[in-house]
Amino acid sequence: MGRWEPNARGRLEQAAMELYSESGYEQTTVAGIARRAGLTERTFFRYYADKREVLFAGAASLQELFVTAVAGAPAAAAPIDAVAAALDAAASLFQERREYSRQRQRIIAANPELQERELIKLASLSAALAGALRERGVAEPAASLAAQAGTAVFKIAFERWIDGPGEPDMMRLTRESLEELKAVTAGR
C-alpha cells in the first residue's frame, strides 16, 4: 500500500489533460502522466485502468445522475418531462466545468478511437435512461424513443454550449434544444 497523496486523482487528471493537449493523446504515456503529477505509475493505476479511462471516468456519474433524476421526477410527470429533469440535472453538473469540457472535447475530436468510445458511452447513457423510464412504467418503444430524444438534445445542447461565444448557460441551451425538438417533431 503506497502512502496517501493529497488529491491524487485530481492531480493525475490535470496532468493527463495537460499532456493530451500539449503532446497529443497517442504520444502521452501513463509514466509521463504520473511524472507530471509528481506521483508514481502505481498510484495512477490505483485510480484509472489506463490512460483512456481518465477521459471517461465521469460517464458513470453522469449516467447515475440521469437515472436518479428520472426516478425522482413526480409520478404524474410525462416521460419527456422526466427526461427534461435529467437534462436539467446534467446541465447543472456541466456548467461548473466548461473549461475542462472544452479541453476534453478538443482531445476527443483529434482521435478516432476516442470518438468511438464517446459514441459507445452515449449509447450506454441512452440505454440507462430508457431503463429508468421503464422503471417508471413507461412502455416500449416510448421509453427508448424518449431516451434517445433526450440524449440527442443533450448532445446538441452540449456542442452549442462548448462552441458558443461568451459564457453560455448550459441549462438554457438544453431547454431551448428540447423546445426545438418539440417544434420539429410537431412538424414546424
Instruction: Note the residues at the interface with a second copy (CB under 8 A).
Output: 78-81, 116, 119-120, 123, 141-142, 144-146, 148-149, 152-153, 155-156, 160, 177, 180-188
First to last CA, the chain: 62
Say how far apart CA 95 and CA 137 lie, in whole Å. Answer: 31
57 vs 156, beta carbon nearer a second copy = 156
Say how far apart CA 16 and CA 36 lie, in whole Å. Answer: 8
Smallest gap from residue 69 Cβ to a second copy (A): 17
Smallest gap from residue 181 Cβ to a second copy (A): 5
CA gyration radius for the chain? 18
Match 491524487 to its residue by C-alpha cell.
Answer: 8
Closest to 92 (Cα-Cα) out of 48, 119, 61, 123? 61
30 vs 142, beta carbon nearer a second copy = 142
112 vs 166, beta carbon nearer a second copy = 112
Smallest gap from residue 86 Cβ to a second copy (A): 14
Smallest gap from residue 18 Cβ to a second copy (A): 28
